[in-house]
Structure formats: C-alpha cells, structure tokens
Amino acid sequence: MRFKFQDLAFLVLFWLFARPAPADEGMWLFNNFPSAQVESRYGFKPASEFLDHLRLSAVRFNNGGTGSFVSPNGLLITNHHVGADCIQKLSTSRADYMKNGFLAASQSEERRCPDLEVNVLLKVDDVTSKVNADITPQTPAAQANQKRKAAMTNIENACTSSTGNRCDVVTLYAGGQYHLYQYKKYTDIRLVMAPEFAIAFFGGDPENFTYPRYNLDITFFRAYEDDRPAKVEHWFKWSKTPIREGDLTFVPGNPGSTGRLMTVTELEFSRDISYPIVLRRLTSQIQVLEKFSARGEEQARIARESLFGQQNSHKAYTGFLAGLHDPELMNQKRAEERKLKDAIAKDPAQAEKFGRFWDELATTYRNFHSFYAPFFVLERSPTRGSDLFEIARKIIRYSEETRKPNDQRLREFADSALPSLEQELYSTAPIHPEMEIAVIANYFAFAQHELGAGHPAVSAMLDGRTPEAAARHYVSTSKLTDVKERKRLANDPAAVKASEDGMIRLALTLDPFARELRKRYEDQVESVVNRAASQIALARFAAFGGSEYPDATFTMRLAYGAVRGYQDNKGRKVSYTTTFEGFYPKGTNSEPFIIPPSWLKAKPSLRLSTPFNFVTTNDTHGGNSGSATLNTRGEFVGIVFDGNIESLPNRFVYTDRRSRSVHVSAEGIVEALRKIYHADGLLGELGF
C-alpha cells in the first residue's frame, strides 16, 4: 500500500474523538481471531473451516506484499505494484511490459520471474517456552539475546529438516510470544497478465493515497511445481454478486510493521532520530533517480520501478513523522502509557516485577542515539537501491557465515533461510551498470554528509576519490553481473579475500565497520529492548487481559470490516464506490492522467456503471497490498491496493470513522479483462 501525508492535524482530531471503541480495528492472528466479536457486530460468525480456507488460499509475496490463489491451477492475483519488480525485470527496451502491459496467450507464453517467491501459511505453533528455555531473569541481556537467536535458529532448522517447508520463528508482542510459522514455498512464479502502468497507477503521485480513485492495480501470476501449474486445494472463487454498501468483508494478508504498542520512548526516538535520517536517505535517492531518468527514455524505463519504490517509502515516512510531531497524538499515547503504569503501580508485586522496564528503555535509547547514524548508514541502508552492492555484501557474508555452526551465524544466514537467500543471490535479473554507478555515488555522498568526510569508513570507501569516481571504479571493475562468478566466490572464502573485484573490495572495506556496529546494536540495544518491551507487553496482559492483537510483522493476519462510504474533512459525502463512467472525465493529455489507448478504444463497449474502486473499514497497512477482499461466502469481491488519506495514522492508531482501505472491484476487473484486454482464457479460468 502507498503512503502520503496531507493535513494530518484533522486526522488526529478525528482519531481522538473516535476512541476508545474503534469497531473494526484489528490485524488479528488467525489462531486468535475474535469470531464472537464479529458475530456480535455483524451477525456472522466465522467458523474454523472458513478461517482455514482464507489462510490457505492467501499467499505472501516475499518482495513485500500479499496475493491469493484464484483457480485450482495455481493462478494468483496481486497488485501491479507488488508484481512490478518482476514485470520490470522481465522488460526490455523492445518489450516494455511495465509501460505497455502483458498478456500470455497460453500457459506456454507465461514468463518466469527471476527471483520471486510466494508462501502459503500451513501451520502456527507457539514456541515461546522453547525460545526462552535457557534464559532466567538473571541472564545478562546480551547473553539472553544470543541464546534466543540460537534457539530460534535451531527450531527453524529442525522444522525445515523434518518437513521440507519454510519455517520462520516470528516475534510477537515485542518478545512476549514466539510463534513458529510453517509455509509451503513456491519459487517458480510466472507472469500471466499485467495492465499498462498508466492504468495501474492512474493519477500517479497527485492521487496516491487519496479517494475517490480509478486504478486497475492488478497483476496475475501462476505458481508452478516441477515445471507444471501447481494444483492447489484452496483458492478463492470469484463472486458474481455485486458488492453493496454495508456488506461485511474479510481481508487476509501480511500487513507490514506497525507501532501501535510502542512505548513513548520508542515513538520519540523514531520522531527525533530514526525517521528523519531515513527521510534524508530517501530524498537523496529520489533526486538521483529522477536525474538519471531525465537522461533519456531508456534510463527512465530502467529506473521506473526503483524510483516508484523510493517515492512510495518517502510518503510513508513523511506521514509517520508528521503524526509523531502532532502534540495531540503524542499526548494521547502518553496518557495510554500512564494508564498502564498506574494500573501496574496499584499492585506492589506487579510494580516490583515490571516497574523498572520503562526506565531501562529510556537509558537504552539514549545510548542508541549516540551511534544510530553510523549504524543506519553503514549497516542498515548501504545497499538500498543497488543490486550490485547488495549482491557483494551477501557474497562476503555468505562465504563467512556458512562456515560457522548454524546457531552462531547471523540469523539471515541460517540453514533454514539459505534457499530463499540463494534464489535472490543467484537471480538472473538484469543489472544496469550506469544506474548502479549513480545510486552508489549517491550513497557515498550521503555517507559523507551524515558521518563526515573524515569518518574512517567513509575515507576507506572513497580512498581519495570523489563519490562519482569511486562508484565508477567499483562498478566498472566488477564481474558480479555474472551469476557463475557469484557462485564461485560465495562458496570460497579464500577467493573472496583474494578477489580484486571492485564491488567485493567495497563490501570487504565496509564490512568490519558494519559488523562492529551491528554487534554493538544487538548487545547494547536490541537485547535490552527485547527484554524490556516483552516485559511491558506482559504487564499489559496482566493489567488489561491478553485479547489484544500484536503489532504487524509482515506475517499472515486477518482483518474484517464493512463496505462503507464516509464524509471527508470538509463534510462532503464520499461514495463507497467509483465507476468507469467517473473515470473517463479525469483523463488529460498530460501524465499521470493519460488514459491508455486500449481504454479509449474500448469505451463504447464498456458498461460504464461498473464499479471500479471501492472502500471498506478493514484495518490494513503496508504489506496488505494485494490482499483479497472476500464476502461471507469466502468469494473474491475485490483486492486491496491502498488506503485513503484519513488512514495515514494507522501505523500508530486506528479509527474507522473516516479511515478506509481502498480496493479494486472484482466486477471492474472482469469488465476490463473481457472488453479491454480480451483475456478470454483468463476469464474462463476465473469462472466466466
């Protein structure tokens, strides 16, 4: 989902007035879904079989979104902006599928994505006791953190070895609980259909995170096994009943990170320290990509997907930061925290057990402040936007980490994680050296600005060169565009150390600084935060009960809500749906409002009253992009692709008064497939 900020003050006021009973709030775990609550409000009680069907039909796209099976032959639907990474990698200057769209005439013409993986959640087990088995209250925080990570790695490895599934231990409630998620994994994913970028993102940035909307933000893929379309037992049938205002809907998906249970200390650190530097990084990347795109049509094509991603993230963090600067929102958060502290203080035993942890967090974040900038610049974000830099770092760490005992490695290099990592590392996706030079030069300039030219890591990376000259040197002397060379180096630590490859030398130069900062973070910050935040979560359970949902973690959740219009901030009534008829008057001769030729040609044949986009009160965020919208029969009635502006504070708060999730209508998709794209084979597979 895309994020944007405007007029946050009025949003916060509406949120404050809406509390404390936001009816449709919740990114619920499937194994703790409030069925009785749904029945009380809507008269429909989701049975366990219904919930299982939703979970097993939905998938996680590991590049940051959600999708769903919509036929027994492995057909998948997600958003165009979720599929854009693959679409871009399959495109060339002669066949620009991002710009012109794509439709496979038959299964033999479906195009395989170089490195896309999707996961189906099969099973969830609570492994909290196993993760904490060797930890006592007296265990030092850093040692406890290492023990937990080792336990998580061992649990994942045992699960993967015995089942063959992807197995991830997921941290919930800031460490209050640990759950083992088992996934069936599909790694042969092929592009079936994508519309033109102009209609998938019609209105572009000016209308991003707004409503009413007119976007066909969809893409169809197909999962394959053993070079044949996957046969799946659970999939969503397409609804043939029009949506109506008031209809109850369900959205299974993988919402990204939220901060609704953050302490005030954590919110203030995000506001004052972490979000500002993230925004500066994104701003600099957007500027360099826009400059690169201006060189010509081919450069614009190459940079399109990356530029879109950086702009989208920038809007998200702009909105998050603006919310945290609003005094009313922060005062409300302080009041909520004071309420919890007061409840704990009433019981001397609870006060003794939990009272100190807020002070521990405050001390820890003051320490983190002293080294956050180098940690962010050198460890967290150096490879953002650069395929070559990311490949080089993975190669040197892969070569080192895989020689260690499994439970002593960096978590991302555990045996259970290697298949997915190797698929990315050895991807055949195209790499564009000139854009790499521009992006890496931008990183060097950013590091100079944030850390100072005299910082030893910056001096070592530049080695007396300008950022542009250094970037050109590292890229031009690298052979990492060759997958065989990547494999050779990754499996030979001595070859890595001896390599004269420019990008490998850059990664080796940076890595000692980055590893030192990572260890300092894990030992001094992460370990204390995990202990303190998990104890505060337990304090919340003790004071108010354990019925709360945990913050989102890009793992499968279920939201529910109604199809419902609203009044905007000026008191104007906003309809729950838009139509094709309302779309055409918005077209102009200028981007981003140019209507694709295929849509102009087909206009006389279209049923213009067909719903295009619609809104619901479902509580969604981030990785919910591509989530199916389902009726009470579990049928597909739409697909989530965005939120309205009033949903912006959802990272920290929720209200269903004006906050809405925005969906593409199933009816609109069928009308477009039939009369604009003439995708008869695809329609037949969907049951039409």
In tens, the pLDDT along 390-440 reads 999 999 999 999 999 999 999 999 999 999 999 999 999 999 999 999 999
Element (H, E) at 373: helix 372-374
pTM: predicted TM-score of the whole model, two decimal places: 0.94
Q: What's the average model confidence in pLDDT over 201-214? A: 90
CA distances from 329 to 319, 361, 550, 655 (A): 13, 21, 20, 13
| 12 and 26 housed in the same domain | yes
Q: Are strands 65-69 and 75-78 parallel, antiparallel or unpaired?
A: antiparallel
Q: Let me know: does 356 contact 679? Beta carbons within 8 Å.
A: no
Residue 14's pLDDT is what? 33
* Phi and psi angles of residue 640, each rounded to the nearest 5 degrees, phi first: -70, 135
The residue out of 143, 161, 185 marking a domain boundary is: 185
Is 565 contained in some domain? Answer: yes
Q: What is the pLDDT of residues 599-614, one digit of tens each?
A: 999 999 999 999 999 9
CB burial of residue 97 (10 Å; 0-12, 13-18, 19+): buried
How far is Cα 645 from Cα 660, in angstroms, rounded to an integer?
Answer: 8
Helix 483-490 / helix 387-401 crossing angle, nearest 10 deg: 30
| 510 and 577 housed in the same domain | no
* Phi and psi angles of residue 332, each rounded to the nearest 5 degrees, phi first: -65, -40
* Per-residue three-class SS string for 159-211: HHHHHCCEEEEEEEHHHCEEEEEEEEEECEEEEEEECCHHHHCCCHHHHCCCC
How far is Cα 654 from Cα 548, in angstroms, rounded to an integer?
Answer: 13
- The full length of the chain comes to 688
The helix/strand/coil state of 641 is strand
Q: Let me know: does 665 contact 613? Beta carbons within 8 Å.
A: yes
User: What residue numbers bound the domain in which 447 lies?
Assistant: 376-541
Q: What is the pLDDT of residues 522-531, one digit of tens each?
A: 999 999 999 9
Is 626 contained in some domain? Answer: yes
Tokens of 229: 């379309």
Q: What is the pLDDT of residues 179-204, one digit of tens each?
A: 999 999 999 999 999 999 999 999 98
653 — pLDDT class (breaks 50, 70, 90):
confident
Is 112 contained in some domain? Answer: yes
| 393 and 525 housed in the same domain | yes
Q: What's the average model confidence in pLDDT over 616-632? A: 97
| 516 and 445 housed in the same domain | yes
Residue 647's pLDDT is what? 83
| 619 and 478 housed in the same domain | no
Among the ranges given (279-283, 423-427, 543-547, 595-599), the one the predictor scored with the smallest mean pLDDT: 543-547
Is 355 contained in some domain? Answer: no
CA dihedral for 505, 508, 514, 516, sign (positive or negative): negative
Mean pLDDT rounded to a whole number for the chain: 94
Is 68 contained in some domain? Answer: yes
Is the per-residue pLDDT at 234 higher than 90? yes
CATH code of the domain containing 643: 2.40.10.120
| 467 and 537 housed in the same domain | yes
Is 316 contained in some domain? Answer: no
How far is Cα 685 from Cα 346, in angstroms, rounded to an integer?
Answer: 62
Residues 6+ apart with CB under 8 A from 482: none
Bridge partner list, 248: 562
The residue out of 133, 156, 185 marking a domain boundary is: 185
Residues 6+ apart with CB under 8 A from 522: 142, 145
Element (H, E) at 592: none
User: In one letter, which amino acid is 567?
Assistant: Q
C-beta neighbour count of 436 within 10 angstroms: 24
CA 92, chain centre distance (Å) = 26
Residue 562's pLDDT is what? 98
Tokens of 210: 């707004």
The residue out of 185, 210, 237 marking a domain boundary is: 185
Q: Let me know: does 76 contact 626? Beta carbons within 8 Å.
A: no
| 588 and 630 housed in the same domain | yes
Q: Which residue has the tokens 């302490």?
A: 263
Domain count, the chain: 3
Task: Identify the residue with better confidence: 493 or 571.
Answer: 493
**Closest among 364, 519, 410, 528 to 149, alpha carbons compared:** 410
How far is Cα 547 from Cα 551, in angstroms, rounded to an integer?
Answer: 13
Residue 546's pLDDT is what? 62
How far is Cα 609 from Cα 236, in angstroms, rounded to an integer?
Answer: 25
CA 72, chain centre distance (Å) = 27
Residue 89's pLDDT is what? 98
Q: What's the average model confidence in pLDDT over 128-134? A: 96
| 72 and 197 housed in the same domain | yes
* Phi and psi angles of residue 463, each rounded to the nearest 5 degrees, phi first: 50, 45
Q: Are strands 75-78 and 111-112 parallel, antiparallel or unpaired?
A: unpaired
CA 559, chain centre distance (Å) = 17
| 493 and 630 housed in the same domain | no
| 181 and 195 housed in the same domain | no
Q: Which residue has the tokens 């990509």?
A: 289
Is 208 contained in some domain? Answer: yes
Is 52 contained in some domain? Answer: yes
| 486 and 607 housed in the same domain | no
How far is Cα 675 from Cα 548, in angstroms, rounded to an integer?
Answer: 46
How far is Cα 272 from Cα 325, in angstroms, rounded to an integer?
Answer: 9
| 389 and 505 housed in the same domain | yes
How far is Cα 326 from Cα 277, in angstroms, rounded to an integer?
Answer: 19
How far is Cα 626 from Cα 79, in angstroms, rounded to an integer?
Answer: 5
Cis peptide before 20 (omega within 30 of 0): yes
CA 390, chain centre distance (Å) = 18
**Closest among 371, 386, 354 to 503, alpha carbons compared:** 386
Residue 616's pLDDT is what? 98
Tokens of 542: 């003790």
**Closest among 42, 214, 27, 70 to 614, alpha carbons compared:** 214
* Phi and psi angles of residue 251, each rounded to the nearest 5 degrees, phi first: -130, 100
